[in-house]
Amino acid sequence: MNPDIQTWIDQLRSGDVRTLARAISTVENRAPGWSELLKALFPHSGKARVLGLTGPPGAGKSTLVDQLARFYRRGNDNDNDKDKRTVGIIAVDPTSPYTGGAILGDRIRMQEHFSDPGIYIRSMATRGSLGGLARTTADVTTVLDASGRDLIMIETVGVGQDEVDIVRLADITILILVPGMGDDVQTIKAGIMEIADIFAINKSDRDGAEHVEREIRTLQSLAMRHDGWTPPIVKTIASQGVGIEELADAISDYEAYLQKENLALHKSVENWQERLIEMLRDALLEKARTQLGDGNLARLAAEVAEHKRDPYTLVEEIAARLTR
């Protein structure tokens, strides 16, 4: 192994936050050595519990995630050290590149937890990662996992296919809803409702919390989960710290259920089937791009745009030529 990478890994595993930040950037930007780094880190990963938290814009996801992080940093009972967990947070923000909101929010949140090196927050911008955001998030999760964080929380706005793919990475998925968003359940991306292991109704002191709960119950009655788990509904007011312990309890319950039914490994195998296919797709595409060359691609695209060639036949021909 590259000696540099071995040094990185040693520093990373010793808890050095600057090395962690650098390793994540390397992976996120596909900077030189990213692939070697991931290969070397993978054997150290697999110990962290991964929570995925998603919901519509304005549901108070960041506040809830911050409160949960604080809760886990305090530990669950009187024996403070026993349940205390180190936390990594990956915030995937669909913020415009104009406003730089992701980076700003990142800094503000980091400052809040500044005194506690046991909480590490990283924002990921969605721009520029055409279809690859879920993959990058997965890779960053591997880095955080290998660095020894006990708990990794991935928060994202639950509105697109990317976001569904991202929360799919998690061992436990929490869908955060809020009262008074009208047809909020309906603006949530198809597929998100189905994968929620736990529902949190945040800002539950607002009018309409019961209505949201009834809506969830109705949807639940329409479709049974394969694994027999009925996702509990927890009411929270994250800004006041209300319901955080109950939410953590619900998380524990589901963790115990996963353990008892041996579902965690099963879920992981399913996830890896998806991820391997995605990784293979990217690897093949990379090869295709290289072999095709930008000049060729531009020429072929022009022929198709001018309707001199049909793209469907063309792609079949290229694929046949590239593979054996």
Residues 217-246 that bind its own copies (CB under 8 A): 219, 222-223
Q: How far is the CB of 142 from its own copies (least distance, A)?
A: 9
Q: How far is the CB of 1 from its own copies (least distance, A)?
A: 12
Site for its own copies in 30-69 (CB under 8 A): 35, 38-39, 42-43, 45-46, 57-58
| The dihedral sign for the CA sequence 37, 40, 42, 45 | negative
Please, are residues 248 and 76 in contact by the beta-carbon 8 Å criterion?
Answer: yes
Kindly state the greatest CA–CA separation across the chain.
Answer: 74
Please, are residues 264 and 171 in contact by the beta-carbon 8 Å criterion?
Answer: yes
CA distance 237 to 205: 7
Nearer to its own copies, 125 or 247 (CB): 125
Q: Is 75 in the site for its own copies (CB under 8 A)?
A: no
DSSP helix/strand/coil, 166: helix
Judged by CB under 8 A, which of 67, 95, 141, 236 binds its own copies? 95
Q: Is 105 in the site for its own copies (CB under 8 A)?
A: no
Nearer to its own copies, 42 or 257 (CB): 42
Nearer to its own copies, 80 or 273 (CB): 273
Residue with tokens 């115990």: 256
Nearer to its own copies, 17 or 284 (CB): 284
Q: Cα-flanking dihedrals φ and ψ of residue 205, to 5°?
A: -85, -5
**Residues in binding contact with its own copies, number by CB under 8 A:** 83
Judged by CB under 8 A, which of 190, 207, 228, 295 binds its own copies? 190
Site for its own copies in 305-324 (CB under 8 A): 305-307, 310-316, 318-319, 322-324
Nearer to its own copies, 38 or 242 (CB): 38
Amino acid in position 290? T
Site for its own copies in 135-174 (CB under 8 A): 157, 159-163, 165
> CA Rg, the chain, in Å?
22
Residues in contact with 236: Cβ distance below 8 Å, sequence separation at least 6, in sequence order: 64, 200, 201, 202, 204, 242, 243, 244, 246, 247
Please, are residues 201 and 213 in contact by the beta-carbon 8 Å criterion?
Answer: yes
Nearer to its own copies, 70 or 267 (CB): 267
Q: Is 2 in the site for its own copies (CB under 8 A)?
A: no
